[in-house]
Amino acid sequence: MEQDQLFERLWNGAASMEEWTQAVSEGAVTAISENIISVHTTYFCGGVTVIRTTAGLLLIDTAKPDTAGKTLAAVRRWDDSPIHTVIYTHGHIDHTSGIKVIDEEADARGIPRPRIIAHRNVARRLSRYQASHGFNSIVQGQQFNYSDYVYPVGQRRPDEIYDDTLSLTMGGERFELFHGRGETDDATFVWLPEHRILASGDFVIWVFPNAGNPRKVQRYAPDWAAALRQMQALRPEVLIPGHGPVIFGGERAAQVLDDGAAILESLTRQTLELMNRGRSLDEILHSVRAPAELLAKPYLLAKYDDPEFVVRGIWHLYAGWFDGNPAHLKPAPSAELAGEIAALAGGAATLAGRAKALAEAGKTRLAAHLIELASSASPTSAEIQTVRAKVYAQCTEAEPSLIGKAIYRVYQRDAEARSSA
Ligand SMILES: [Zn+2]
């Protein structure tokens, strides 16, 4: 199968994923073989892969409520057979919550709903989403800047679960499911040995691995690397990523898997080396660096998550929450500390003035510390909030990752609202 021109431009770094999202927005079908397609609607929703068997269709993932309709319509233009089985590659909502649309179609046709297969931890994740529903709605709404966002819960749970590996034959097709931990603790990658096709789930996402999201539960950078090595050893000829276009050709697939593993292995090795020498989190965060040549690959750009956030995640995988700064063991309330420092500095306005100067000089990290102290010491000052809004606008601009930008913007908006209150 020939790669199209847009793919070549993505591969060479000449096109952006935004351009690809635009190109697939109506529901684009990639033909992988006579009986296998992938359907995409946007970068921001997991793709759906469909395998035609004599027993019916098998789907890998389901998209989400706002993309599942388009996805299913694209599938139906290709094949109208019943959907027999759905595999969730993990429990994230952009891979599972489209099941509702699939079930509704089955109900309308008066045929059985598909059986769902997933790793054991998917059900536990879905339960957690219900327990922390308010928090998840806030975090997800802030990350993608949706107001009044309600996190979708209530996805249908797996009918069949497995722990490490699962082999299954359906309608004459063989599927091998492997569990690994990476972005989540419930992940599956799917191997079709007769076709040498690998559906990686979110172990491959066409950006730097999302292994350190500041507001999500623990992620697993070293295990992620190990899973990519396991996939590389399978020597796939086609690599179907969780997000972004399908990668054809054994050499390219191996390169993507190898580079993704190498960048996570490097961050893990560097972080552990320093931890094992007793260094503090502060020292580690400011000295560990992702290898620049890997970070420059078009499929590893840190546009979504940030290597620094991943270092924190690795720390957290091997250590507790204490960061090695004794003042952080039992900290004073931040408003009390801010009051003391503001008094020493000659007032909160002095701190804010210095924050403004630092931000303008590009020292946005330091500026954020000082403006938070000023804001805590004098929370009702509209002038200080005006400066705070500017500081976070500069932090947002300086930040490469979507997640980092989104978090700064939350506080920029807060400051804007308080500056005019
Ligand atoms: Zn995803």
Give 92 Cα–ligand 1 centroid separation in angstroms: 6
Task: With CA atoms as reference, report the closest residue to 143 among 414, 403, 395.
Answer: 403
Give 182 Cα–ligand 1 centroid separation in angstroms: 12
Q: What's the CA gap between 191 and 158, in Å, rounded?
A: 19
270-313 pLDDT per residue, tens: 999 999 999 999 999 999 999 999 999 999 999 999 999 999 99
pLDDT of residue 421: 74
Q: Is the pLDDT confidence value at 2 over 50?
A: no
Computed over every residue of the chain, the mean pLDDT equals 96
Q: What's the CA gap between 59 and 394, in Å, rounded?
A: 44
Give 94 Cα–ligand 1 centroid separation in angstroms: 6
Q: Is the pLDDT confidence value at 202 over 90?
A: yes
Helix (H, G, I), strand (E, B) or coil at 238: strand
Q: What's the CA gap between 111 and 308, in Å, rounded?
A: 49
Helix (H) or strand (E) holding 395: helix 382-398
Give 410 Cα–ligand 1 centroid separation in angstroms: 23
| DSSP states of 167-197 | EEEETTEEEEEEEE-SSSSSEEEEEETTTTE
Token representation of residue 312: 């924190």
Angle at 218 between CA 214 and CA 224, to 5 degrees: 105
Helix (H, G, I), strand (E, B) or coil at 365: helix
Give 90 Cα–ligand 1 centroid separation in angstroms: 8
First-to-last C-alpha distance (Å) of the chain: 59
Helices (H), 246-289: 250-276, 281-285
| CA 381 centroid distance within chain | 37
* Surrounding residues of ion ligand 1, Cβ less than 5 A: 46, 92, 94, 202, 242
Return all residues near 355 (Cβ < 8 A) that are at least 6 apart. 366, 367, 368, 370, 371, 374, 387, 388, 391
Cβ atoms of 237 and 256 closer than 8 Å: no
Cβ atoms of 179 and 191 closer than 8 Å: no
On whether the pTM is more than 0.85, the answer is yes
Q: What's the CA gap between 60 and 47, in Å, rounded?
A: 9
36-46 pLDDT per residue, tens: 999 999 999 99
Give 40 Cα–ligand 1 centroid separation in angstroms: 12
Angle at 62 between CA 58 and CA 65, to 5 degrees: 150
Give 204 Cα–ligand 1 centroid separation in angstroms: 10
